[in-house]
Amino acid sequence: MSKRQRLDKILSNLGLGTRKEVKDLVKDGAVQIDGIIAKDSGLQVDPVLQKIKVNNKELLYREFIYIMMNKPQGVVSATEDNRDTTVVDLLEESLQAFEPAPVGRLDKDTEGLLLLTNDGQLAHKLLSPKKHVPKTYFAHIEGRVGQSDIEAFEKGITLDDGYETLPAQLKVLVQGEVSQVEIIIYEGKFHQIKRMFQAVDKKVVYLKRIAMGNLQLDESLDHGEYRELLEEELKLLQE
Ligand code: URA
């Protein structure tokens, strides 16, 4: 699909600088469209059908951006916030220019896999309650998590507001005063995992998302680090 857009918008979305900076690039005669030097940064250009060169280098156009972040604790899953740092604030400017938004929310004190994209259609598909996209978490739980909890989660849990969750798979990795578990849920209610454990009189003390659909967190990403998805990861998500 092709779409005409202002040249300065295309260039800044591709990470070539702010609108002001890319205007200067055009003014300096550094930008060519189909071999002709562009004189006006407001020119309507079709980035798919037309060849754009900056300083004689051809640009590879892309409309969408898909970023995997290892969200750290202490930042909020939002694009803007008056008080707290947001996950978008952590991105370099050239990526912020694409206007990505987090796909769903992790609590401020939850860490791990967060996808950010400007592809509204994919975000909608992943978040749709009808699609039941699995989300896998690793957690530390105060108290001994045992067989009765596994069975309760398998049946579905009644939350504090009366909502009945879908069946969830709970696996105990380490049983102790503080247990370590893996849990897969198929929906995304507010504070869902914390509230599910609260319903069985236990407390989540650490929570990390490790997968969403077929997409696994790249464990080589440190807290707050991010990278663009690989082509095969995007395919997995789109399945
Ligand atoms: N469940 C929670 O309680 N918190 C999260 O951040 C994600 C799932």
Backbone angles phi, psi at 84, to 5 degrees: -105, 160
Q: Give the Å distances, CA to CA, from 160 to 107, 186, 196.
A: 18, 18, 9
Does residue 168 line the site of ligand 1, with CB under 6 A? no
Q: How many Å is the maximal CA-CA distance in the chain? A: 71
Q: What percent of the chain has pLDDT over 70?
A: 99
Q: Is the CB of 207 under 6 A from ligand 1?
A: yes
Picking from 171, 199, 195, the residue whose alpha carbon sits closest to that of residue 184 is 171
Cα–Cα distance for residue pair 50/110, rounded to 1 Å: 44
Contact 210, 113 (CB under 8 A): yes
Cα distance between residue 105 and residue 116, in whole Å: 10
Confidence of residue 37 (pLDDT cuts 50, 70, 90): very high
| Residue 84 is a catalytic residue | no
Q: From atom 7 of ligand 1, which residue's Cα is the shortest distance away?
A: 106
DSSP one-letter code for 1:
-
CATH 3.30.70.1560 occupies which residues in the chain?
Answer: 135-212
Q: Which of 102-140 are b and which e, b meaning 16 or more Cβ less than 10 Å from the residue's Cβ?
A: bbbbbbeebbbbbbbbbbeebbebbeeeeeebebbbbbb
Residue 2 banded pLDDT, cuts 50, 70, 90: low
Confidence (pLDDT) at 61: 81
Fold of 135-212: Alpha-Beta Plaits (3.30.70)
Is the separation of the CB atoms in 175 and 181 below 8 Å?
no
98 pLDDT tier (thresholds 50, 70, 90): confident
Q: Is the pTM of this model over 0.85?
A: no
- DSSP letter, residue 67: E
- Give the pLDDT band (50/70/90) at residue 94: confident
- Compute the half-sphere exposure of residue 205: CA atoms within 13 Å on the CB side of its CA: 9
Under CATH, what is the fold of the domain 5-58? 3.10.290
Q: Which of 46, 81, 107, 218 is catalytic?
A: 107
| CA-closest candidate to residue 238, choices 137, 136, 103 | 103
Looking at residue 229, the DSSP 8-state letter turns out to be P
pLDDT tens digits for 66-88? 999 999 999 999 999 999 999 99
Task: Give start-end residues of each CATH 3.10.290.10 domain in the chain.
Answer: 5-58
* pLDDT of 1 strictly over 70: no
Mean pLDDT for the stretch of residues 133-161: 97
Whether 175 has a pLDDT exceeding 70, the answer reads yes
Q: Does residue 171 surpass a pLDDT of 90?
A: yes
Residue 54 has pLDDT above 90, yes or no: yes
Give me the pLDDT at residue 182, please.
Answer: 98
Taking domain 66-129+215-238, whether its CATH number is 3.30.70.580 is answered by: yes
Give ranges for CATH 3.30.70.580 in the chain: 66-129+215-238
pLDDT in tens, 117-130: 999 999 999 999 89
Q: Ligand 1 within 6 A of 107 CB? A: yes
